[in-house]
Amino acid sequence: MEKCLVICRAIACTLAAVALAATAGCGSSDYDVAPVTGTVLLNGEPFPQGKVMFAPAAADGGIKAGKPGFGDLQSDGRFVISTYGNQDGAVVAEHTVTVINTEPKSDAGRRFAANRVSLPSRVRVEPGKANDFTVELTSEMIKKYGMRID
């Protein structure tokens, strides 16, 4: 009876150790993140709908850049980026910023006149900084850099 108890405890401890090892890396990232907030303006007015994507660029010619972060646009054009967790920010790196129009048939969506626009210049997300960006779009930029999918 005592031998069975020892064996059962050993099996239980082994299973617990395997489960702990298997979940140790869950939810973590290979990249540091920093908080990122901002505002999207279209022709000087807040753009009240859609999403913003911060896509990190690979450093030093590498192919790994990290996971992109996304933020929902609020009625005042403000956004907060989430990458690995709720509003945790974006990967510390240079980023291409893309504004995604999620409601192209609305009044604001028709003014946007594209499904997405990737900005031609990059922004740098830095640790320990405010990282509050104003994304200023104009109708001319949308015509030049926008992508329409109908």
Average pLDDT, consecutive stretches of 10 residues, N- to C-terminus, the chain (150 residues): 48 40 49 96 92 89 83 97 96 94 69 79 94 94 77
The pLDDT assigned to 11 comes to 44
How far, in Å, CA of 58 to CA of 127, rounded?
Answer: 17
The pLDDT assigned to 1 comes to 53
The pLDDT assigned to 103 comes to 77
Q: Tell me the domain boundaries of the chain.
A: 33-147
The CATH code belonging to domain 33-147 is 2.60.40.1120
Whose tokens are 């660029």? That residue is 57
CB 38 within 8 A of CB 132: yes
